Amino acid sequence: MDPDVTVSEDLHGNGLWIVESGGRHTRKMKKTDPRKLADRLLHQLEARPPPLALLADLCSTIFEAPAWPGSEDSGRKEGVWMDTRMANFQCRQCGRCCRELNFRHQLPETDYQRWIQSGRNDILEWVAVHRRGENIISFSIWVVPGTLSFATECPWLRKTDIDGPWRCDIHDIKPEICREYPGTRKHARMTGCSAFQTNKHL
């Protein structure tokens, strides 16, 4: 934050107050919620990127994982590298992420285009495409074909027998959000993934 900005917690615990200079003699006080604060911090990081070493420290604190400044093998692109602590991840196919997490508005256009190129109309039937004028602005999954209603559960999730693991019928071509979950060990813990639950280091 700028040096003339003060952030304090709301006494009732439902937000934060930001006080900043609004001119020569005035100080403006604004209430903000975590999402607005995150937007503001991202904007600030983009406008005035801090040194990579400081960003690495921040990433390390936020993601509870080792992070360090570095560059690609080619040496051209510099950035922050992080050990996501996912090396020992092994999905238990408990199906919890598929049944309980809300990922319905997070389909990137790359998945949509991949399904078009693969002729997967069976999947595309369950995708709602949101447009503004001619332009596609976002997608929603899994919307019951011919309706505007979300399916009560993922239509591709199956159990072969009652005590067996859950399986995904479109595993090889499933959405990126499913393929990439969980992104880090902390992400797994915060969202209830059972893959590491017996690990005493979690």
Residues contributing to the site for ligand SF4 (CB under 6 A): 91-97, 181, 193-195
**Helix%, strand%, coil% for the chain, nearest 5:** 30, 20, 50
Q: How far is the C-alpha of 131 from the C-alpha of 145, rounded, in Å?
A: 18
- The least CB distance from residue 143 to ligand SF4, in Å, is 22
Distance CA 150, CA 144 (A): 6
Q: Please give the distance of CA 112 from its chain centroid, rounded to a whole number.
A: 18
> Minimum distance from CB of 118 to ligand SF4 (Å)?
24
Q: How far is the CB of 178 from ligand SF4 (least distance, A)?
A: 9
Secondary structure (DSSP) of 70-101: EE-TTS--EEEEE--S-TT-------HHHHHS
Residue among 74 and 198 whose Cβ is closer to ligand SF4: 198
Q: Which secondary-structure segment (H or E) carries 131?
A: strand 128-132
Sign of CA dihedral 6, 58, 60, 190: positive
25 SS3 class: coil
Of the pair 143, 154, the CB lying nearest ligand SF4 is at 154
Complex with ligand SF4: residue 19 or 91, whichever CB lies closer = 91
Measured from the CB atom, the residue of 20 and 64 that comes closer to ligand SF4 is: 64
In terms of CB distance, is 67 or 185 closer to ligand SF4? 185
Of 128 and 188, which has the nearer Cβ to ligand SF4? 188
Total residues belonging to the chain: 202
